[in-house]
A and B are shown apart, each in its own frame.
Chain A
Amino acid sequence: MSNSGLSAGDAQLMNAVAEAEAESARHGQDLTPGQWAKKNLFDGVLNSIFTLVFGSIALVTIWFGARWFIDSDWEIVRANLRLFMVGQFPRDDLFRLWVSGYIVVFMGGFVAGAMAHNAQDLADMQGVEYERATWGSLLRRFWTIIAIIIFFVSFARTALPYIGVAGGMVLAVGSRELGWRAPAAVRARSVYIGAALFIISMMVLAGTSRLGGFALGAVALAWVASETGKRDLPGGGAGMVQRWAPAILVAVVVFVVTVLLPYDGYGWEDWGGLHITLFTTVFGIGMGMPIGILLALGRRSDLPVLKTASVIFIEFIRGVPLISLLLFSNLMLPLFLPGDRPADLTLAVIVITGFSAAYIAEIVRGGLQAVPKGQTEAAQASGMSAGAVQRLIVLPQALRAVIPAMVGQFISLFKDTSLLSIIGILEFLRVSDVANAQPDFVGKGLAPVTYVFVALGYAAFAYTLSKESRRLETRLGVGVR
């Protein structure tokens, strides 16, 4: 749906990447299909047997799969498409979902475009080559997501979802272009703009709560802090107006959105379906990442209290099945929390965040151990503070080394959100059970149909995540050196 801002790259490695790609392009060309088949499929007796056996197995599977696909009664999915996508979100206010979705798409496109341009500028400055993304390359990267969205929409009975999705795709393309063409001063601050847009999209959905206002305020503060930090850097001395205007803009937006336009929305206890699955995943990763990194640093720390607390947390969470943690969140966590009982999903999200943080912490610790001690010593010798050593020298190397494991954890978390069903939350997978209990469909044996529908959804998103991670690995040169 949207570009995830992964474009900022380590420009020094781009030469190597470009060379590797050119290399791979030189191979496997200048062959007719017949020659290719002979070389790759029927190269010797053993290879020919393998080709025939596995080829016929594949053909039979595809034949029966396609037959099943065509013969099945997909009415249960058509009737319940909204339930699959958004669960029990109030039908009269679905526009909130569309608007907030559009804002997120715009945010993704804009930030990705801006960061890609930033990466090119950096590459130019360092005199390395930068391969600008083309429409073709973007399509190759995101065809799974586009295909699954079209697959989902093909079950719609009205024109609105088609128009809405087409509009979203146009918006994604347009916002990326806008981000690319934005002035350098705006591009440099695109992360803050993106964060503010994301919070605003949440407020469109969930209402202008104090929480949203605080979050926006925090973004504005971080912005101001980073502007203040830039003041002393060479080349960072932009004019007074340029430096403060964006922050003031955000402050005005905060004021307008939270004070002048107060309205109610629907908190996440009313969300459901694929929406809640994606949201819980993004939230679990987004919150779990920083907490996990802190836990990993804490575990390596010399302070005994910090170290022990980190170890206890990590080992406890990792030693307990997620199902029992979710049941714990539902039945016991409220006893420890002050005030009224929070929504079931709030409790579950707390546990899921902690769960992913513990696993991420162990992955990051592995990365930290892979960074040679000489790096730290050299940084210390050059007079860097302890914080700067970690932030600028150790963590960037450690995190880069663990991208594959980290993305594996993200994919695993994405699938683990289906466990929310055991505490009665109507996430993507559970809609299947609910739909099969409806009077029109009960006892018709339609569970395979709905399960296949859901499985395709999970597979498309997980595959895209994994593809993006491999792309990131290539760009950052993981495994090359």
Chain B
Amino acid sequence: MHNSKLLKLLAVLLAFVMIAAACGDDDDEGSTDAETETPDEGGSDGEGDDDTVELTQSGGTLAKVQDAGTLQCGGNDTLPGFGIVDADGAFSGFDIDFCAVVAAAVLGDSTAVEVTPLVAAQRFPTLQSGEIDILIRNTTWTASRDGAEQANFLHTTFYDGQGFMVAADSGIASLDDVADASICVLTGTTTLLNLNAVLGDLGIPFTAVEFESNDELNPAFQAGQCEVWTSDASQLASFAANMDIETSILPEIISKEPLGPVVADGDTEWAQVVNWAVMATVQAWEWGIDSTNVDDFLTSEDSNILRFLGEPIEDDDGNSVVAEVGLGLDPKFAYNIISQVGNYQEIFEKNLGPIGLALEGSPNDLWTNGGLQYVPPFR
């Protein structure tokens, strides 16, 4: 008797669930393409493939952003130099400026950005859900993230890596001088594993002094409890900015942490747009175009620069035409980026200069100066 009651109850509940599911399906069909991209089931590969086939046909994120008039950008609000909130409540930082770069390219207005601050665990699910159009939040490009997280990593904006900081008067100038030194490091991190592996391979003896958090490590380092502090170079620089002692960062970087913009898998059109918008800042730097002199270049003799800035150039028949690269963007998108935000060097020095990161001689320097910033030609 009791059981049959329970069964009836279950049947009623099941009916409700099925009706709810049916309603849910209807809603999905009525929504935009951008929303159907949402990989509801993160599970089997077979289904994921089906989704992709359906999605690449129309892409949709570009149109969605242009319809909405604002770019939804996932960022950080607690990382010095890369993404912070100032006392007036405004976002600023290196990563935030690259959101502005994409907005300038796609919408012609670098201020049409809405930044959603994300904690680390949230970032990929939020990107997959379509709530944000682009994720620029000091996210390291790795194979598993590219694959399993259904994320699409684009042009690296910042080559970070594990570095070493010493007091300026320590007499340590390179990794070789570190021999027999004591090194401050956070316990239980990949930083510690890297340190042991790399210095072990090089045969450099050292003593690791382990700390639970940077709040404890920082005063210890300044008090001279250890000669060297190892962490990500960007983090070392941000701490160095407010130290009572003069410091320097050794040139050696012992790990690869490429950070850059990420978009969701399955929308090639949007990925290309973001990629070329970001790369335009590097190209402008290479040509010496910045926000102060970009208007002078509008009358340049160089047809490559004119094409880059969306100015008319003479084609083979002698007609004056504006080159269309077929990205679905305003031909003047690079001009908008440079005039409204600036080139890569300007963005770097505005945001990362104050926390003590040098561009010159770092991996982030231009390829012509021996760095890694190299972009394909804009033609």
Asked if B78 lies at the interface with its beta carbon under 8 angstroms from chain A, I say yes
Contact assessment for A89 and B89 in the assembled complex, using a CB-CB cutoff below 8 Å: yes
The 0/1 profile, CB within 8 Å of A marked 1, for residues 257-298 of chain B is 000000000000000000000000000000000000000000
Q: Which residues of B contact A (CB under 8 A)?
A: 5, 9, 12, 23-24, 27, 38, 40, 77-81, 84-90, 116-119, 121-122, 125-126, 129-131, 214-215, 218-219, 238-243, 354-355
Cβ-closest chain B residue relative to A421: B119
- Cβ–Cβ < 8 Å partners of B240 in chain A: 443
Min CB distance A87 to B, Å, is: 7
Complex Cα distance, B367 from A372, in Å, reads: 84
Q: How far is the CA of A219 from the CA of B241 in the complex (A)?
A: 56
CB distance from A163 to the nearest CB of B (A): 21
The answer to whether A335 has its CB under 8 Å from any CB of chain B is yes
Name the A residues within 8 Å of B219 (CB-CB). 445
Complex contacts, A339 vs chain B, CB 8 Å: 27
> CA separation between A335 and B238, bound complex, in Å?
39
Which residue, of B79, B87, B117, B130, has the highest number of chain A Cβ atoms within 10 A?
Answer: B87
- Complex CA gap A335/B355 in Å reads 41
Q: How far is the CB of B181 from chain A (nearest CB, A)?
A: 22
Cβ–Cβ < 8 Å partners of A90 in chain B: 89
Q: Are B27 and A338 in contact (CB under 8 A)?
A: yes
Q: Majority SS of interface residues in chain B?
A: mixed
Q: CB-CB < 8 A to A424: which residues of B?
A: 77, 116-119, 122
Instruction: Please determine whether B84 and A439 come into contact, CB atoms closer than 8 angstroms.
Output: yes
Q: How far is the CA of A89 from the CA of B85 in the complex (A)?
A: 12
> Interface range on chain A: under 10, 10 to 19, 20 to 34, or 35 or more?
35 or more
Q: Which residues of A contact B242 (CB under 8 A)?
A: 440-444
**Bound CA–CA A426/B122 (angstroms):** 15
User: How would residues 330 to 347 of chain A score, 1 for a CB under 8 Å from any chain B CB and 0 otherwise?
Assistant: 110011101101001000
- The yes or no answer to A122 lying at the interface (CB within 8 A) is no
| Cβ contacts A223-247/B at 8 Å (1 or 0 each) | 0000000000000000000000000
Sampled A-B contacts (26; CB under 8 Å): A82-B88, A83-B85, A83-B89, A88-B85, A91-B89, A327-B121, A330-B122, A331-B125, A331-B126, A335-B38, A341-B129, A341-B131, A344-B116, A422-B119, A426-B77, A434-B77, A437-B84, A438-B84, A438-B87, A439-B241, A442-B239, A443-B80, A443-B239, A443-B240, A445-B218, A445-B219
Given contacts A341-B131, A443-B238, contact A437 B5 (CB under 8 A): no
Measured CB to CB, the nearest residue on chain B to A441 is: B242
Known A434-B77, A437-B84, A443-B218; further 19 A-B contacts with Cβ < 8 A? A80-B87, A83-B87, A90-B89, A91-B89, A304-B5, A331-B122, A335-B38, A424-B118, A426-B85, A435-B87, A436-B78, A437-B80, A438-B84, A439-B80, A440-B242, A442-B239, A442-B355, A443-B80, A445-B218
Contact of B215 (CB < 8 Å), options: A272, A304, A447: A447
Q: Is the CB of B87 within 8 A of A82?
A: yes
What is the chain B residue whose CB lies nearest that of A80? B87
Contacting pair A335 B40 (CB below 8 A): yes
With an 8 A cutoff between CB atoms, is A305 at the interface?
A: yes
In the assembled complex, A423 has its CB within 8 A of some CB on chain B:
yes
B116 proximity list for chain A (CB < 8 A)? 344, 424
For the complex, what is the distance from the CA of A423 to the CA of B74, rounded to whole Å?
A: 12
B89's partner among A82, A330, A341, A433 (CB-CB below 8 A) is A82
User: Is A308 an interface residue when CB atoms closer than 8 A count as contact?
Assistant: yes
Expressed in whole angstroms, the Cα–Cα distance for A443 and B217 within the complex equals 10
- Minimum distance in angstroms from A8 CB to a CB of chain B: 40
Q: Tell me which residues across on chain A come within 8 A of B119, comparing CB atoms.
A: 421-424
| A304 contacts B9, C-beta separation under 8 Å | yes
B250 nearest CB across to chain A (Å): 19
Q: In the complex where A439-B355, A442-B355 touch, is A426 in contact with B117 (Cβ < 8 A)?
A: yes
CA distance A330 to B80 in the complex (A): 26
- From known contacts A304-B5, A305-B12, infer whether A439 and B81 are also in contact, taking CB-CB under 8 Å: yes
**B84 engages A308 (CB within 8 Å):** no
Asked whether A91 and B88 contact (CB < 8 A) given A441-B242, A442-B238, the answer is yes
Whether A437 and B77, one on each chain, are in contact in the complex, defined by CB atoms closer than 8 angstroms, is yes
Interface flags for A68-100 (1: CB within 8 Å of B; 0: not) read: 000000000001101100011111000000000
A438-B239 CB under 8 A given contacts A424-B117, A433-B78: no
**Bound CA span A421–B119, Å:** 9
Looking at the complex, which one of A80, A331, A442 makes contact with B241 (CB distance below 8 Å)? A442
A187 to chain B, nearest CB (A): 41
CB-defined contacts of B84 to chain A, threshold 8 Å: 434, 437-439
Shortest CB-to-CB span from A262 to chain B, Å, is: 21
A-B complex: 8 closest residue pairs judged by Cβ atoms: A88-B89, A443-B239, A437-B78, A442-B80, A443-B242, A424-B117, A331-B125, A338-B27
A433 vs chain B, min Cβ distance (A)? 5
Question: Within the assembled complex, what's the spacing in Å between the Cα atoms of A334 and B77?
Answer: 24
Q: Are B354 and A439 in contact (CB under 8 A)?
A: yes
Which of A82, A334, A445 counts the most chain B CB atoms within 10 A?
Answer: A445
Which chain A residues border B88 with CB–CB below 8 Å? Answer: 82, 91
Q: Are A437 and B89 in contact (CB under 8 A)?
A: no
Q: Say whether, besides A305-B9, A426-B77, A336 and B215 are in contact (CB < 8 Å).
A: no
